Structure 1
């Protein structure tokens, strides 16, 4: 079972990592948000700012927009298998449907995460030139793992599975609307999930690393029980919650694929 899961994961990783759209969207979105961050962005933090604070700020900045590109790239992955006939070939292999879905998901997450990690390391190199602190590279990896990666895993699950029901173009349109409503719309303007434990932008984890409130984490709003004061425990709960929320679409993927095949 493990060897088959690893084989599917490797196959999916190789398929995704070769897509130019993945690299171009990541580089383009990271460059845009990096240049448009304004004077409150991490690039303008004063000398002597802790490396953890600096890299958490960059991770949060990238997480505001880069996962949108990941969602767009992954939205037609399972649908494309059906359209090109690859799904029939995969079903002929001695591998369970659940193993195929899990392998595709893990491979897709790994492939989309790699450009994000490289963006963080490139940014750490730029900050190192100005700050001369080698720990920036270690904190870049930590900030990526705690701030960006949970959101990527969350987005990947829905981007892979939802188009089986909604179609890829409709999912992309709804996903962009959700991303800005549920991550960056202040809850005092309109009821929103912004600033809650289930916000995939990672502001609770960023707040923990920075030692201060990042963006809207814990901002007053509804529902109040999902908006505790930022800290280590809420950050870990937020990361775990995003991982758990990624499970339902993955569980439904097998039956959805079977239904599409039989219809």
Structure 2
């Protein structure tokens, strides 16, 4: 019970701190506007948006979910990366280590609080797109499909990205991580294999291509074939790796404290 209280306290504090950052909303808003600009400059997209009722509802919802997951995970990683180093820089971490409570519960609360707060602008943007689909189709089933596609395509990968952005900046300089992550995202998620080795067509990719293709039959990511089992395997792998990364960071922090 005390661990749960520690987790909830850390989650609540980190969520509030992150969601109040003006740069979170400015950064997400700019990237979302850039995405919309590219979308509507693509030939045929505007006509498609105006005639969504003629397209299969599940495919339309899944495509929109894919597009939301195309570039925004990069912004999530960038916005989360400085949270833990900032605590170390202003010695908050040292103060927290003297308080009663599980360090692991506190770290998980920090990780999930930051991740879900950073996801809030994305959820709002996503829902606006779902409302556009509903306005065109007048089919309330789109809201159920939106929950299903977001939970299976977006959320597992975002949790993995949040874990990476929490753990790696504790080991390397934040700007270096941010630069490397941008390169990793394009190479390891968006690049279609053509001679250069990449993991973009494996179940390890957090972009959600395997879940989208395996569960819903469509994707914008370089995953040509996938079944439901592969989609489930990708989802479980991403979630398990997220937990293992945070556990590894907790062990590293405890080792550091023991050396001091």
TM-score computed with the length of structure 1 as normaliser? 0.88
State the match for 2:116 in structure 1: 110
Q: Which runs of 5+ in 1 are unaligned?
A: 220-228
State the match for 2:97 in structure 1: 91
Deviations 1:74-96 (A, max 9, x none): 11111000111211221122112
- Deviation, structure 1 residue 240: 0.6
The alignment of Structure 1 onto Structure 2 pairs a total of residues equal to 253
Whether the 8 Å contact between 2:63 and 2:219 is mirrored in structure 1 is no
- Deviation, structure 1 residue 138: 2.3
Among 5, 18, 36, the alignment partner of 1:34 is 36
State the match for 2:80 in structure 1: 74
1:241 equivalent to 2:237? Answer yes
State the match for 1:121 in structure 2: 127
State the match for 2:25 in structure 1: 23
For 1:208 and 1:249, the matched residues in 2 are separated by: 26
Relative distance call for 1:155 and 1:34 in structure 2 (3 A) is same
Deviations 1:110-151 (A, max 9, x none): 212222222111111122222222222222222211111111
Superposition RMSD in Å: 2.1
Among 128, 136, 158, the alignment partner of 1:152 is 158
For 1:124 and 1:153, the matched residues in 2 are separated by: 22
For 2:81 and 2:220, the matched residues in 1 are separated by: 29
For 1:34 and 1:203, the matched residues in 2 are separated by: 21
Q: Secondary structure at the match of 1:175?
A: helix
State the match for 2:58 in structure 1: 52
- Deviation, structure 1 residue 165: 1.0
Relative distance call for 1:31 and 1:206 in structure 2 (3 A) is farther
For 1:40 and 1:71, the matched residues in 2 are separated by: 32
Deviations 1:30-63 (A, max 9, x none): 2222331324769826533232211211111111
For 1:237 and 1:202, the matched residues in 2 are separated by: 11
- Which structure shows the higher helix fraction? 2
For 1:195 and 1:34, the matched residues in 2 are separated by: 26
State the match for 2:227 in structure 1: 231
Among 231, 248, 255, the alignment partner of 1:252 is 248
| Runs of at least 4 residues off by over 6 Å | none
